[in-house]
Amino acid sequence: MDLLMFAFVAVIPVISYGFTVHGPSGPLVAPLGSSVVLPCYVDEPLPLDDLEVQWRRTDSETLVHLYQYGERPEVQQQDYHDRAHFFTDQIQHGNFSLRLDNLRAEDGGNYTCKVYSQQDSGETVVQIKDVDRLLVSGSSHSISAPVGEDVTLNCSVDSHIKPEHIEEVSWRKTDEDEDILVLLYLNNETFPDSSDERFRDRVEFFTDEIPKGNFSLRLKSVRTEDKGVYICHLFAGVLSANTTVILRPSE
Ligand SMILES: *[C@@H]1O[C@H](CO)[C@@H](O)[C@H](O)[C@H]1NC(C)=O
Ligand SMILES: *[C@@H]1O[C@H](CO)[C@@H](O)[C@H](O)[C@H]1NC(C)=O
Ligand SMILES: *[C@@H]1O[C@H](CO)[C@@H](O)[C@H](O)[C@H]1NC(C)=O
Ligand SMILES: *[C@@H]1O[C@H](CO)[C@@H](O)[C@H](O)[C@H]1NC(C)=O
Ligand SMILES: *[C@@H]1O[C@H](CO)[C@@H](O)[C@H](O)[C@H]1NC(C)=O
Ligand SMILES: *[C@@H]1O[C@H](CO)[C@@H](O)[C@H](O)[C@H]1NC(C)=O
């Protein structure tokens, strides 16, 4: 009887739910303002009644989100309040991925997903490597160009957004009483026919430069009435950016 008792006790620690926590295959990159999913999962579902999952910033140990069976996650850090969510219906399947909304620049960094179940624990680290923003560089604030000559108005992508992800670029002339389309680029195509008639046949992109993210405008044969404010507006998914230049034709 004693021997049987011993065997019973000794066996208990062996019935563990040994598990491995998995993360993404590489660092994550996502645009500013978007929602990103930080993967964290185990192969086999774990019993819920003894489960705890902690998501923390690896550097500061700041608690980002917490799952404890039957508890509401009230200990969430202010910075992440309302921005961090589990996929509640996925937890029972061993999927503890975190959705982080409205991504901010300071969200870049490493996150540890630590899972506790029975006597065991495991963790994985997820890196948000880059929070992309769209930066655009333009011309110096104001440029002058002799009437009749050609002029280049600068507008080029100045961040690691790939040019093929740029969905739309519009050059507009905006003044107090007018806002007219100078040149439009949409989904890899230039639409010269949509230019206002004052600019039609006088404006173009530098086709060879577009793959480099250079959407500078070439305005041919400058006229006196071209004087004014030009704005180049770029869109890539949730991101957008613009640059402005004032053109002063000189006689
Ligand atoms: C976890 O759930 C999310 C949301 O449904 C899903 O995108 C992701 O693929 C799931 N991961 C796994 C490993 O099932
Ligand atoms: C995040 O982890 C990666 C890979 O371990 C490491 O190279 C990087 O320096 C870490 N970043 C920070 C901000 O700690
Ligand atoms: C346009 O950009 C080029 C390259 O960055 C620069 O050399 C040039 O001075 C810029 N032109 C103006 C008018 O700012
Ligand atoms: C534009 O071209 C890029 C690269 O060739 C491609 O990945 C992308 O899907 C294209 N976009 C559209 C809207 O056709
Ligand atoms: C964009 O292309 C134009 C025309 O080749 C050039 O003058 C300008 O310097 C380029 N801008 C940048 C930032 O490379
Ligand atoms: C241009 O970008 C600035 C921020 O850089 C923004 O405040 C402004 O509203 C943008 N202009 C337009 C017309 O979207």
Atom of ligand 5 nearest to the CA of 154: 11
Which carries the bigger pLDDT value, residue 6 or residue 144? 144
Distance, in Å, from the CA atom of 47 to the CA atom of 52, rounded to the nearest integer, reads: 10
Distance, in Å, from the CA atom of 146 to the CA atom of 222, rounded to the nearest integer, reads: 7
The architecture that CATH gives domain 135-250 is: Sandwich (2.60)
**Structure confidence at residue 101 (pLDDT):** 95
Region of residue 213 (left: phi > 0; alpha: psi -120 to 50; beta: else): left
Which carries the bigger pLDDT value, residue 37 or residue 237? 37
Residue 113's contacts (CB-CB under 8 Å, 6 or more residues apart) are: 21, 23, 38, 40, 53, 54, 55, 96, 98, 123, 124, 125, 126
Residue 219's contacts (CB-CB under 8 Å, 6 or more residues apart) are: 150, 151, 152, 153, 182, 199, 202, 203, 226, 247
- Element spanning 127, H or E: strand 120-132
Q: What's the pLDDT band for 91 if we cut at 50, 70, 90?
A: very high
Q: Whose CA is nearest to atom 8 of ligand 3?
A: 139
Q: How far away, in angstroms, is 183 Cα from ligand 3 center?
A: 20
What's the CATH superfamily of 3-132?
Immunoglobulins (2.60.40.10)
Region of residue 21 (left: phi > 0; alpha: psi -120 to 50; beta: else): beta
**Structure confidence at residue 77 (pLDDT):** 61
Per-residue pLDDT, averaged over 192-218, amounts to 96
Task: Kindly report, residue by residue over 99-137, the tens digit of the pLDDT.
Answer: 999 999 899 999 999 999 988 999 999 999 988 888 899
**Pocket-forming residues, ligand 3, beta carbon under 6 Å:** 139-140, 143, 154
Which residue from 189, 227, 192 is spatially nearest to 210, judged by alpha carbons?
189
**Structure confidence at residue 132 (pLDDT):** 81
Q: How far away, in angstroms, is 14 Cα from ligand 4 center?
A: 55
Q: How far away, in angstroms, is 158 Cα from ligand 2 center?
A: 24
Task: Kindly report, residue by residue over 57-80, the tens digit of the pLDDT.
Answer: 999 989 999 999 877 655 556 678
Lowest model confidence (mean pLDDT) among 7-21, 115-129, 229-243: 7-21
Domain ranges of the chain: 3-132, 135-250
Which residue from 129, 190, 188 is spatially nearest to 162, judged by alpha carbons?
188
* Residue 63 Cβ < 6 Å to ligand 1: no
Average pLDDT, the chain: 89
Q: How far away, in angstroms, is 187 Cα from ligand 3 center?
A: 26
3-132 and 135-250 in the same fold: yes
Lowest model confidence (mean pLDDT) among 117-121, 199-203, 241-245: 117-121
State pTM to two decimals.
0.69
